[in-house]
Chain A
Amino acid sequence: MEKWSTVNLENFNGPIDLLLHLIKEKELNILEVDLLVLSNQYIDYIQSLEVLNIEVASEYLVMAAYLLELKSKILIPKEVIEFDENYEEREREELINRLIEYHKIKEVTNFFKEKQDEYLKSFSKKKSIIKVTKIDDDKLPLAKNTINIDNFSKIFLNAIERNKFKNLETNTLTTTEVSPEELAKDIIEYFTDNKIKNIDLEELINLKEYSLKMLVATFLAILDLAAKKIITIEQLEEKIIIEVLM
């Protein structure tokens, strides 16, 4: 067993591949394969290998364990396993079905390999980037950029700073799921409930006891609302004003 510390099975694409190889090598008909013999062959093969790459090998070891389980169940005298006399048949059928499925795929891989070789003989170029003269900002299909994004983020950063101190007093952890979508709804509701059309961003984020998570979600919610043209974000000197468009 110690030998399994290093096994190189790179010639095979997995335990099923190895099983298939063993069956073919002995020129056996898969449907008539004796699982006892196959299990022994498989395990002998793995044990005979000197170099084992454990990551690759783990898959093979799982198969070996499975085959051993199968083998031990088959070897138990029949009367003992009365409770499940179809076990061998079912397991056998399942394994054989897997082998057949795998074999079908294995048979067509050459088609793909040949096609690949053909493809690798053709060369083409990357799609060209068409360089045009600079488009004026006001011709870009974007909302008017009237805010200073530094200012916008500064308001959030300030809020985070303030919250840091609050957190120091907290000794219980509560996790609440916040989604930007829900917050976006919240924000719009706030506008309609209070019958206002605009609000100072700083005021808005101070409305609730915000956690860091909340702030990030609020930030995303506001950007999302702006992207969907439900609100506009505008800057008046140092203040950022959010206005509903409806």
Chain B
Amino acid sequence: MSNHLALLGRTAQYVLLSIAAFVSVFPFLWMVIGATNTSPDIIRGKVTPGSALLPNTANFLAAVDLPRILFNSFLIAGVGSALTLLVSSLAGYGFEMFRSRVRERIFGSLLLMLSIPFAALMIPLFVMMANLKLINTYQAVIFPTVASIFIIFYFRQTTKAFPHELRDAARIDGLKEWQIFFFVYMPVMRSTYAAATIIVFMTYWNNYLWPLIVLQTNDMFTLTLAVAALSAGYTPDFGMVMVGAIVATLPTLVIFFLLQRRFVEGMLGAVK
């Protein structure tokens, strides 16, 4: 009897997971199939690949200055991620390594700040950027999110697993604090950095609202904004937009697959 139940339970698990996996992956397949079909075929729900891939690609390349847009996206996401990881991990490390009552209070208020909607900060930030004459620049997109509360929080959690003896040994060997951070802490925590890289890169790459506000000319657009502009309106050319969607999705997918194993290890540390 219990064997039957167990078998039933296991079958149910497989069915559940298979449905979930199918539902998760299907839109990706749909995107790839869509890129080969014409827009009316896509709206009609045609599930077989068509022969419109080349015209769709040509239309996309005609509508978007792809090299320029890619350059913008990679520059913003790359520089933004590097700065965010450096600054936020330094803060997370600091919070965990040098505890004091004041630090704890600051940390507590940081968590509260997570709850302020970005929409509330947009206007003051926008005016600030205007005053600094930074509207329509890369700096304006990157700066406000470099100190990420979520990433600080994440690094603080994972640093709990960092062996303090390592730091003490390094101190005895005469290393300065910054040397300890760069040459001891960072290499030891590489899984954590991998996980954070995926999250931060994804966030910059896919960011929509803030770039929409501060980037105002087409030549400064990120891939996200360019594809969003193409897909606006009630009947966009879906075939062309699907090609754009693939281009917009590929970099994060590649990064995810490259760092995947470390990603799961990094998350393991976060919740200890």
Answer yes or no: are A and B bound together in one complex.
Answer: no
